[in-house]
Structure 1
Amino acid sequence: MAKGNYLWWVQCEGYPDVPVLAPDWEQATVQAAKLWCVPWAKVAALCELREKLPAITCVCQRCQRVFHGTGTLCDDCVSAVRIEAQRTEAAKRRYFRKLYAGK
């Protein structure tokens, strides 16, 4: 953990809320976009701050399990967040294909 990092809870419509470690808001949005597997420019303006806390490491902020490693989420929760974001994107694509196919 680098000195001066905070735990930022980042939320964005259409994506799951994620906790990230970063020194400032911009870097927090970059880290959140990486977790969601989307380009930063696509979500940067839509991101909102849910909560800013002192940095906490080795405890998963999603499932509260103790883990050994870096970051704020255990490997299982990182995978779950990415899968949830991918499923949300796929659902949006299907919805708009169906919406515009009927016209």
Structure 2
Amino acid sequence: MPALFVSFMRTAVPFIAGWLLTLAVRAGVEIDSATVTGFVTVTLGVAYYLAFRLLEWLGERSRGTALQTFAGVLLGWARPPSYPKVPVLEPVARGAYLDPGDGVR
């Protein structure tokens, strides 16, 4: 369950940042269309996420935990979420079935 919160934070923070950046842009430029405003918000949110996720990835690759932590904090959480490993089940052979009387056929 903690991974769900982490992934939510890392999704929500870039969109909030995009919204705040949109407000900053609107302070200097008048945008009348709600569609354009929505597009600008999403575009800025995606660009924000991509920029800081790329910095985080570069920090992981260069073993620079300071860069990774800095970028992660600006994404809403200092570390990427980790998900538990799910065991992979083997496929059942075609034509095999379980008979309570004498086992697998």
TM-score by length of structure 2 reads: 0.32
- Structure that is richer in helix per residue: 2
- Structure that is richer in strand per residue: 1
Q: Higher Cα Rg: structure 1 or 2?
A: 2
TM-score by length of structure 1 reads: 0.33
